[in-house]
Chain A
Amino acid sequence: VSNPSGLAPYVPSAGATADKVGRLQMLTLALRILLVIAIVLLGAGPWLFDLNQMTLLTEFFTLLVLALMWNLLAGYADIVTVGQQGFVGVGAYAFFGLAALAGLDPFLSIILAAAMTAVLAVPALLFILRLRLAYLAVGTWVLADVLSLIAGKLPGFGGGSGVSLPISIARAFGGSVSQRVITLYILAFILAAAALTTTWCLLRSRVGLGLTAMRDNEEGAKSAGIDVPRMRVICFLWTAPFLGLAGTLVTLQKVRVAPSASFSITDWTIYIIFAVVIGGIGSLEGPIIGTALFLLLREYLADFGAWYLILLGAVSIAVILIEPRGLWGVWRRFFPIDVIPVSHKSPKNMDRTDFAGTSRLKHGLHHRAETEQKA
């Protein structure tokens, strides 16, 4: 068999490879067990943590949902949005309207608010489909700005300065402050777990395969019969109810709605983009690492105000220039493993597919060398 690439095949000594692969499999297993333990511990949070820790973790779960959704759009569907605060705000205002103004059951209102956000995503989508790809980022921003300005004009929502959630609605989530913290913690945990698992399933499905193909080579994906616009539409509509749910949780945490807070671009988009970029865009591990790191850094650096944002901005520029796959990309340079595998293993060989094209090529050549030897 000739070697059409003309490159020397990459054939590491067999023993060392088996040893390395074995060690990486052990590491993967260990990290997965760790992840499961972490999820179980977080699920048992109300028995383990005090109120302050639970409040912080509730925020972590909420931000994680936002990070997962932004990552799904920007990292997989090629929709870089700077306007996801729009849907967060819609969720918040819909919840307030349903629970406080229409007087519906608060828990039912949460579900209905998510549904309303999903419904509103359809006209937003029509607008977005009209924009060139180069316009998408700022286009979504305009849309979020419109939603925020309209929210400030709605009667009953306190105008530009916003309004507090009636205490009777807060009571529905627990008679005392500590009970409310626990209820919110559980709701946020369920939401984050649901967002993580369902997004993972989405990425493992045909849609995810199509998205990965599209991200790697859009023309190639189109010619292979993948309906690229349909994939984008599915992802965009997918994120809306989750963003809306995050908005309802934010409202319950802050006990008020206001255009500047509910539609905050800094809180719900800028911080989220930095967290995902630094953690690692285009993976599921990245947003988790990024969100955790973001909250940790904030605990120590929040007092520095503007300097904190300057630092985050500078670090993410550096990340894009040096390692576009973020911290998780750096980790994968040394340990090329998937803790949350989004891609499927190739059916014949057990090679792990990799985000970096180079190692995929390396594996491909390696595989070819093996088949040559067999021939």
Chain B
Amino acid sequence: VTIMALEFLNQIIQGALIGGLYVLFAIGLSLSLGVMRFVNIAHGDLIVLSSFILMSFSAILGLSPFIAAALLMPVAFLAFYALQRLLLQRLVGTNLLGVILVTFGLAIVIQNGLLQTYGPDTRKLSGGALELKSISIGGGLSIGLYPLLVFATAVVVIFALDRFLYRTSIGSRIRAVADDPAAANLIGLPSAKIYGIAMGVVGLTVMSAACCMSIWTNFDPEIGPSRLLIAFEVVVLGGLGSLWGTLVGGIIIGVAQNLGAQVDAAWQILTQHLVFLVILFLRPQGLFSRGSRT
């Protein structure tokens, strides 16, 4: 019985740690939700696209994925800035249908573009010796150093984003534009540019999520949608606009998945969805909702 309890505890700890990765998926989605007022359907595929770019970039230059990801950060910022200014900004102020259909089209183009370029094979990047190290936490349980680092990254990213949005002037401008674009325009905020910068920040979170994911798990061109669903559930569970709520949402989804995975792969996803549905039913506004924004 003790062994079973320990094994159960172990699964919860491992699940909570992979929750850190899911938080990284979700933070960008949460921020872009504020900008676009809609769930970006291409979010998961953008993470996968970034993983493939990271893979090629680190292979060509012979760099470790961590250094390659750091070098690609400015590129990700500019690419997302451009995506917002050149494509998505055209739809701001029109009905939501246009935004959702364009991100939907983008998702399909990215998925099939990757399939055409890289083929359907499963990939994984190597994090080197870091991946193999683990720390013993007593009771015969140990946790991997790499999952712990990813979780720490998630906490740091949330902390930094919280500071950025609530302590800097550009952050308060982003919140102003996200809360009420018309009023922000009235007081002369350059909303197009601010939207662009916010999406640029989303690009930074997407690249860090891509780096963490591609070393931790296998990926292929078709996993974007399942990453989107994870990110979506984490955002909804956490409560719209609540960054720290996202952390709790990520842990819940990670633990639910890990417990379901004890049965089989289908139950892994099914448990994830069912836990999400139950919590949504009990608390439609999310666990930690910050005000009501639609």
Taking CB atoms and an 8 Å cut-off, the chain B residues in 224-242 that contact chain A are 225, 228-229, 232-233, 236, 240
Taking CB atoms and an 8 Å cut-off, the chain B residues in 25-45 that contact chain A are 33, 37-39, 41
Specify which chain A residues have a CB less than 8 angstroms from the CB of B106 in the assembled complex.
313, 317
The answer to whether A307 and B116 touch across the interface, beta carbons within 8 angstroms, is yes
Q: Tell me the nearest residue of chain A to B226, going by C-beta.
A: A145
Report if A309 contacts B (CB, 8 A).
yes
Specify which chain A residues have a CB less than 8 angstroms from the CB of B105 in the assembled complex.
274, 313-314, 316-317, 320
The answer to whether B269 and A320 touch across the interface, beta carbons within 8 angstroms, is no
Binds A, one of B107-115, B170-178, B185-193: B107-115
Specify which chain B residues have a CB less than 8 angstroms from the CB of A320 in the assembled complex.
91, 98, 101-102, 105
Number of interface residues of B (CB under 8 A): 44
Report if A66 contacts B (CB, 8 A).
no
Report if B90 contacts A (CB, 8 A).
yes
Q: Tell me the nearest residue of chain A to B231, going by C-beta.
A: A138
The answer to whether A132 and B294 touch across the interface, beta carbons within 8 angstroms, is yes
Interface string of B72-110 (1 = CB under 8 A from A): 000000000000000100110010111011101111110
Report if A44 contacts B (CB, 8 A).
no
What is the CA–CA distance of A82 and B107 in the complex, to the nearest angstrom? 13
Q: Tell me the nearest residue of chain B to A309, going by C-beta.
A: B112
Specify which chain B residues have a CB less than 8 angstroms from the CB of A82 in the assembled complex.
41, 104
Interface string of B202-246 (1 = CB under 8 A from A): 000000000000000000000001001100110010001000000
What is the CA–CA distance of A78 and B266 in the complex, to the nearest angstrom? 32
- Among A80, A306, A314, A324, max chain B CB count under 10 A is at A306
The answer to whether A138 and B39 touch across the interface, beta carbons within 8 angstroms, is yes
Min CB–CB distance A260 → chain B (angstroms): 12
Min CB–CB distance B143 → chain A (angstroms): 29
Partner of A314, one of B109, B229, B233, B280: B109
- Among A142, A160, A277, A281, max chain B CB count under 10 A is at A142
Partner of A149, one of B94, B108, B269: B269
Report if A133 contacts B (CB, 8 A).
yes
What is the CA–CA distance of A80 and B109 in the complex, to the nearest angstrom? 19
The answer to whether A273 and B229 touch across the interface, beta carbons within 8 angstroms, is no
Q: Tell me the nearest residue of chain B to A282, going by C-beta.
A: B97
Taking CB atoms and an 8 Å cut-off, the chain A residues in 77-103 that contact chain B are 78, 80, 82
Partner of A324, one of B39, B98, B116, B232: B98
Specify which chain B residues have a CB less than 8 angstroms from the CB of A238 in the assembled complex.
none
Interface string of B273-294 (1 = CB under 8 A from A): 1101100110010000000001
Q: Tell me the nearest residue of chain A to B240, going by C-beta.
A: A132
Report if A141 contacts B (CB, 8 A).
yes
Specify which chain A residues have a CB less than 8 angstroms from the CB of B115 in the assembled complex.
306
Interface string of A267-278 (1 = CB under 8 A from B): 000100110010
The answer to whether A142 and B97 touch across the interface, beta carbons within 8 angstroms, is no
Q: Given that A160-B266, A321-B90 are known contacts, is A138 also in contact with B232, CB under 8 Å in the complex? A: yes
Report if B270 contacts A (CB, 8 A).
yes
The answer to whether B39 and A135 touch across the interface, beta carbons within 8 angstroms, is yes
The answer to whether A146 and B273 touch across the interface, beta carbons within 8 angstroms, is yes
Specify which chain A residues have a CB less than 8 angstroms from the CB of B270 in the assembled complex.
146, 149-150, 153
The answer to whether B96 and A277 touch across the interface, beta carbons within 8 angstroms, is no
Report if A152 contacts B (CB, 8 A).
yes
The answer to whether B236 and A135 touch across the interface, beta carbons within 8 angstroms, is yes
Q: Given that A127-B277, A138-B229, A150-B270 are known contacts, is A133 also in contact with B294, CB under 8 Å in the complex? A: yes
Interface residues on A, range: 35 or more
The answer to whether B269 and A273 touch across the interface, beta carbons within 8 angstroms, is no
What is the CA–CA distance of A310 and B111 in the complex, to the nearest angstrom? 9
Specify which chain A residues have a CB less than 8 angstroms from the CB of B112 in the assembled complex.
306-307, 309-310, 313
What is the CA–CA distance of A150 and B266 in the complex, to the nearest angstrom? 9
Min CB–CB distance A294 → chain B (angstroms): 14
What is the CA–CA distance of A305 and B111 in the complex, to the nearest angstrom? 12
Specify which chain A residues have a CB less than 8 angstroms from the CB of B39 in the assembled complex.
134-135, 137-138
Taking CB atoms and an 8 Å cut-off, the chain A residues in 283-322 that contact chain B are 305-307, 309-310, 312-314, 316-317, 320-321
What is the CA–CA distance of A313 and B236 in the complex, to the nearest angstrom? 27
Report if A130 contacts B (CB, 8 A).
yes
The answer to whether A146 and B274 touch across the interface, beta carbons within 8 angstroms, is yes
Report if A231 contacts B (CB, 8 A).
no
Report if A21 contacts B (CB, 8 A).
no
Specify which chain A residues have a CB less than 8 angstroms from the CB of B274 in the assembled complex.
146
Report if A237 contacts B (CB, 8 A).
no
What is the CA–CA distance of A310 and B270 in the complex, to the nearest angstrom? 30
Q: Given that A130-B280, A313-B106 are known contacts, is A141 also in contact with B116, CB under 8 Å in the complex? A: no
The answer to whether B97 and A281 touch across the interface, beta carbons within 8 angstroms, is yes
Min CB–CB distance B286 → chain A (angstroms): 10
Taking CB atoms and an 8 Å cut-off, the chain A residues in 248-275 that contact chain B are 265, 270, 273-274
A134-B39, A138-B229 given; name 6 further pairs at CB < 8 Å: A78-B97, A131-B284, A135-B232, A273-B101, A317-B109, A324-B94
The 7 closest A-B pairs by CB, nearest first: A313-B108, A306-B112, A313-B109, A317-B105, A313-B105, A309-B112, A130-B284
**Residues in B lying within 8 Å of A, measured CB to CB:** 33, 37-39, 41, 87, 90-91, 94, 96-98, 100-102, 104-109, 111-113, 115-116, 225, 228-229, 232-233, 236, 240, 266, 269-270, 273-274, 276-277, 280-281, 284, 294
**Residues in A lying within 8 Å of B, measured CB to CB:** 74, 78, 80, 82, 127, 130-135, 137-139, 141-142, 145-146, 149-150, 152-153, 160, 265, 270, 273-274, 277, 281, 305-307, 309-310, 312-314, 316-317, 320-321, 324
